[in-house]
A and B are shown apart, each in its own frame.
Chain A
Amino acid sequence: MNIELLTLSEIESVEGEKGDFTVTVKKNPRFIDEEKCIACGLCAEKCPRKIDDEYNEGLNKRKAAYIKYGQTVPLKYAIDPENCIFQTRGKCGVCQKVCPTGAIDHEMKAEYVSLNVGAVVLSPGFKPFSPRGIDHYGYDEIPDVITSLEYERMLSASGPYMGHIKRLSDGSEPKKIAWIQCVGSRNTNCSDNGHCSSVCCMYAIKQAVMTRDHIEGGGGEQSIFYMDMRTDGKEYERYFEESKNKGVRYERARPHTLLKGPEGVGVTMQYTTESGEQTDEYFDLVVLSIGLEAPEDAMDLAAKFGFDLTKFKFAETSSFDPVTTTRDGVYVTGAFHSPKAIPQSVLAASTAAAEVEKDLVESRGTLAQEKTFPQETDITGQEPRIGVFVCSCGSNIAGVVDVKAVTEYAAGLDGVVFTENNMFTCSTDTQDLIAEKINEKGLNRVVIAACTPRTHEPLFQETLQSTGLNKYMIEMANIRNQNSWVHPSEPEKATEKAKDQVRMAVSKVRHNYSLEDIEVNVTRRALVVGAGLSGMSAALNLAGQGYETVLIEKEKTAGGVAADLNETARGEKIPQKVQKLAEEIESNEFVTFYPGTILNSVSGSVGSFTGELLSGDDTGTVEFGVCVLATGAHAHTPDEYLYGQDERVMTSLQFDGLVKSSPEEVKNTGSAVFIQCVGSRDENRPYCSRVCCVQSVKKAVMLKKMNPEMDVFILYRDIRTYGENEDLYKQARDLGVIFIRYDLDKKPVVKNSGGRLEVEAFDPIVQLPVSISADRLILATAIVPNPADSFVNMFKCGVNADGFLTEAHPKLRPVDSNVDGVFLAGMCHYPKPVDESIAQGRAAASRASVILSKQHLKLDAIKSHVTHNCDGCALCLDICPYNAITLTEYEENGRTHRRIQTDKALCKGCGICAATCPKEGVVVNGFTNRQIKAQVESLLN
């Protein structure tokens, strides 16, 4: 609904301007009618033409009639015209003969459609770097050198070897595996990729850790060869450290030669260790951690749309408008914006959505539609008339379970009046069929024996609703995930289990009753807590979308930490931007700004919260539908390296201040030393503060440009100039900045020897101690989250072990907190630079808009429900994980009684209360004792 999917399509041309673009899209022919295809797979089965399967990185073959992968959306086959025999030579046509629905159409032609849109978002992704043609990696010559994407497919249960790792040379299972990092990244010798791909360190660690579970008997040997480990994201450092404990070996070296192992099997790797030792080492398998390049059509897209690209051919944007291209009304997200991992891609997606929503606010709701359903039929008093639909899921279920036998069995169950087996019960044509049978046979309950309700129940519920049947008159029996997938080698027992599962579902559905979804009124106002960069960005975007926004800040002024910064990595002036945003906050008619104010208490839930604000001795209340927490972070105060004892030692933030106030004094410094990871990546704070490497390198470059004679040193553990920031690192080295690595157990020592500031360190390359006389010592201090306890108490949102607020899902919901209607922005979530803080602020506004754009929120009806059996014993009160239960008192016949009350918007229907209650005083709709008992009894009978 409201998303029209055009597959096999490309943009031809673009005309017009922001608010009114006309985009011509070429829809290439699928040669299979999407309306008719039921994804039975016969065309592919019989197609005689085999080619490398791109989805599995060419490790196996697909046919010219194909489906990308089993869960593709849309689940429709396609014919690849470049390889199809009929398309290339005019004969064959086997697919046409075997297709049971007549969906094959070899005459299909490309179509051109003209789309009138207000804005454009580009997310063409990236191109994985190809190591072909680079001799020293030996990828073309050595069968046991593979790319990380190939390895990923090997690890996958849905991959070519069903999750078994094997060598391409002899098919054996490799025990000793090496990963080589930065293949096609941070390298301008064999590619143009001077950037860091940002994702390879983490995926290599993940692959190494996962491998240990895949090797028969567990374990094996995994070694990662790297230059700098860049585990600079949330929880990354911890994962890295844990991988070491699990036995993953890390070797700081860049292997220079790979040779075929003895008898053409395995790989002999030659490398030089950090201390200069030449080493030959044999590995069973070598995985090349290939980087991310700009997509192949980057130039073409940039030319069609008329926007600029960066040096590395990613889309040009600024730190202050992080997803805005140089063409007005055209935005970018994902890896084309800059190489990035999944959470950052998802985050940037919401940022781009926020920009579009702001641009098009006047036309919100003009083209989008809401789904409507016919009036519900009243089935009270009717005897159960149950229809059972058993899914083959292609061969996913039918390959193990005898679905015909299950279907026949179901027909004999009490109350069942119709049964059918479908190839894919979830396909569009089956939905039509289910609806038809509901009407024709007068079905009032439906059982779907297929997969998981988590992904598919909403689809079937809609089918029921389209016929006027209440959407809760359905049960699903998961005969795939809980059956065929886990019992592939025991088909007979699996079939019996499937029968049990269907019988249980039928028993339960007999007791299902109509339920009504809950509707919550939405207070269309946002509360933003914290007026730093991300909080202001969130507030201004929300205001731009026409939502009334209350912005509170505990300090007297807006700006937060950003006001003390100097320049972004790209060289944009931060204080000026902060000033401008603060002025906009003051002047925007939709924003009410309360400085010197904190949130004291909160009640309510998503859509309708009430908060108590406290400003000095004054209190006030604010009603709001959503909340953005942007409570920020601060710099750690060091207690080492003579900080606080010698005025030449300062933090990075203090140095920024000095650069602004006394540039001449800074310029005349003879020798400047930076120490990285001061308070980060240690026992107390086992996380990387993400911004310090880029900031120190940036400052070093600035110093060298101010005064080329200045001696500038950076003492570091790993340089983490991720993404296109890598270019700064190169500039710094080119300008003569000296980088000296140190280990945590050999930290630098700072001394005052006779008035001179001496920094002593151990250089691991020359294996000798070095002593540097410093005029200025700059400490790259850790970023520490501001206390979040009060928000944890008020909203029941989570924090991680480091005190950063927790997102709902680390990959897929990086902006949502674990509390509905509460979103996270900026450094309260994790340390991040200016561009990412602004991006997350706006992303939070987009996520909030999903709620604020509606008058009412629909919540499902599977909620706890208090019955008259409740006597207020309150056993359920503390165990509710969502704080949805309160105890109330009421008067009856002059006596005071107690009873619990549940908040339907907070309740998630988990059922812990119902399980705890000794007297059925609280039940969960849709999962009553009667329903569950019927299920259990039917299993035991």
Chain B
Amino acid sequence: MANKPVGSVLLAGGGISGIQAALDMADSGYYVYLVEKSSGIGGTMAQLDKTFPTNDCAM
């Protein structure tokens, strides 16, 4: 890296992991492009009913 790096990030995949990474980076001062293949984010977790162990709604 000869010059200063670019202060933005490309994130591919808007499931729970991608969303968390995007939030961490955006909240720490970086601009994030979140690229998602389907028409909306959420990934597989949005399909789940309840999650162990709290039995919270996964949505």
Q: Which residues of A contact B (CB under 8 A)?
A: 1-11, 17-21, 23, 25, 30, 55, 57, 66-69, 71-76, 78, 115-126, 128, 149, 152-153, 155-159, 163, 202-203, 205-206, 210, 235-236, 238-239, 301, 333-336, 342, 345-346, 348-350, 352-354, 356-357, 359-360, 362-369, 809-812, 846-847, 849-850, 853
Contact = CB atoms under 8 A, between A and B. Distances in A.
Given A68-B38, A810-B53, A353 B10 contact: no
Contact of B36 (A6, A21, A366): A6
B48 A152 contact: yes
A104 to B, nearest CB: 15
Nearest to A10: B37
Contacts of A336: 13
Contacts of B54: 809-811
Given A55-B46, A156-B47, A349-B19, 12 more contacts: A7-B38, A18-B1, A71-B46, A115-B33, A117-B9, A119-B5, A123-B11, A124-B12, A163-B49, A349-B21, A357-B25, A853-B27
Given A2-B26, A850-B28, A346 B20 contact: yes
B20 A350 contact: yes
A121 B49 contact: no
A30 B42 contact: no
B35 to A, nearest CB: 5
Interface in B1-59: 1, 3-56, 59
Given A4-B32, A123-B12, A846-B24, A345 B46 contact: no
A348 B24 CA distance: 12
Nearest to A348: B17
Contacts of A20: 1, 3, 5-6
A848 to B, nearest CB: 9
A847 B12 CA distance: 20
A366 B55 CA distance: 41
A116 B23 CA distance: 19
A117 B25 contact: no
Nearest to B24: A353
B40 to A, nearest CB: 3
Nearest to A234: B53
B9 A2 contact: no
Given A3-B23, A210-B55, A811-B54, A360 B9 contact: yes
A294 B44 CA distance: 14
A345 B16 contact: yes
13 contacts: A5-B14, A5-B36, A5-B41, A6-B36, A21-B6, A25-B35, A75-B40, A78-B39, A342-B51, A345-B17, A350-B24, A811-B51, A850-B24
A6 B13 CA distance: 10
Nearest to B32: A3
A5 B32 CA distance: 8
A372 to B, nearest CB: 16
A354 B30 CA distance: 12
Nearest to A151: B49
B31 A333 contact: no
A120 B23 CA distance: 15
A366 B6 CA distance: 8
Nearest to A8: B39
A101 B52 CA distance: 42
